[in-house]
């Protein structure tokens, strides 16, 4: 039997915390274990409660979400941090990922997107809000063009699957190469499209080719 996802909500606005709590606690598999007003409280509660997922705001008085995320991930790497913010800035986005956040979602998102994001990061995956992921990644690659090789927010397996897709392999062929079921490959492909803000296999292939993910034989 699976245990419920234990969530800590960190936000300096009471109305936001209350609304998010009501939303999450309506789900059978999610429990909100506590709320924090700022980063300092978040670090203390992370230590005492060991939640599975922390919903982290960025702009807060005292210790902000960026510093709190750095400290929590340094002390408790297994805790997943999901950023819930109003900021669309690519600067905030990439700084939070560098700090160790596993996902980034806007406060204007649909309730279903937030619930999905909590479940995704709890599984150790990365969740990027679809409407901003493609723009932010494109801006990042443009700024780093010609510089160091960029690290994608994808797992090694997802990068491998993306590379094989770009080389023209079907789901069945990729499944045979990786010794998994075709349904597993289909699931990975859906997650890739969600993370990168893409909507089709063709766009995935174009993305892989544009960013040098073709396999060398």
Q: What is the pLDDT of residues 48-102, one digit of tens each?
A: 999 999 999 999 989 999 999 999 999 999 999 999 988 877 667 778 888 999 9
CATH of the domain at 203: 1.10.10.10
pLDDT of 20 reads: 96
Q: Are residues 174 and 87 in the same domain?
A: no
Q: Are residues 91 and 9 in the same domain?
A: yes
Residue located via tokens 């408790």: 76
Q: Which domain, by its residues, includes 206? A: 154-210
Q: Confirm whether 148 is domain-assigned.
A: no
Q: Are residues 56 and 161 in the same domain?
A: no
Q: Are residues 118 and 45 in the same domain?
A: yes
pLDDT digits (tens, 9 = 90+) for 134-147: 655 666 566 555 44
CB 134 within 8 A of CB 110: no
Q: Confirm whether 215 is domain-assigned.
A: no
Distance CA 188, CA 167 (A): 16
Q: Are residues 94 and 159 in the same domain?
A: no
Written as six digits, the tokens of 213 are: 């993910």
Q: Confirm whether 127 is domain-assigned.
A: yes
Residue located via tokens 């400290």: 71
Task: Summarize the confidence of residues 29-55 as an average pLDDT.
Answer: 97
Q: Are residues 26 and 54 in the same domain?
A: yes
Structural domain count, the chain: 2
Q: Confirm whether 73 is domain-assigned.
A: yes
Strands 30-36 and 80-85: unpaired
Q: Confirm whether 145 is domain-assigned.
A: no
Q: Confirm whether 72 is domain-assigned.
A: yes
């Amino acid at each position: 039997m699976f245990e419920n996802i234990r969530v800590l909500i960190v936000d300096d606005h009471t109305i936001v915390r209350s609304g998010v709590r009501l939303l999450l606690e309506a789900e059978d598999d999610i429990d909100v274990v506590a709320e924090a007003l700022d980063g300092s409280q978040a670090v203390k509660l992370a230590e005492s409660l060991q939640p599975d997922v922390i919903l982290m705001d960025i702009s807060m008085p005292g210790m902000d979400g960026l510093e709190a995320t750095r400290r929590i991930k340094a002390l408790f790497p297994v805790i997943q941090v999901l950023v819930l913010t109003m900021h669309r800035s690519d600067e905030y986005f990439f700084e939070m990922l560098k700090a160790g956040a596993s996902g980034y979602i806007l406060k204007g998102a649909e309730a279903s997107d937030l619930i999905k994001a909590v479940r995704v990061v709890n599984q150790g995956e990365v969740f990027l809000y679809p409407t901003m992921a493609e723009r932010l990644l494109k801006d990042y690659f443009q700024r780093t063009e010609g510089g160091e090789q960029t690290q994608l927010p994808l797992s090694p397996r997802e990068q491998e699957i993306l590379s094989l897709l770009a080389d023209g392999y079907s789901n069945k062929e990729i499944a045979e190469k990786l010794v998994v079921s075709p349904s597993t490959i289909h699931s990975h492909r859906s997650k890739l499209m969600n993370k990168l803000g893409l909507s089709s296999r063709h766009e995935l292939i174009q993305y892989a080719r544009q960013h040098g993910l073709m396999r060398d034989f």
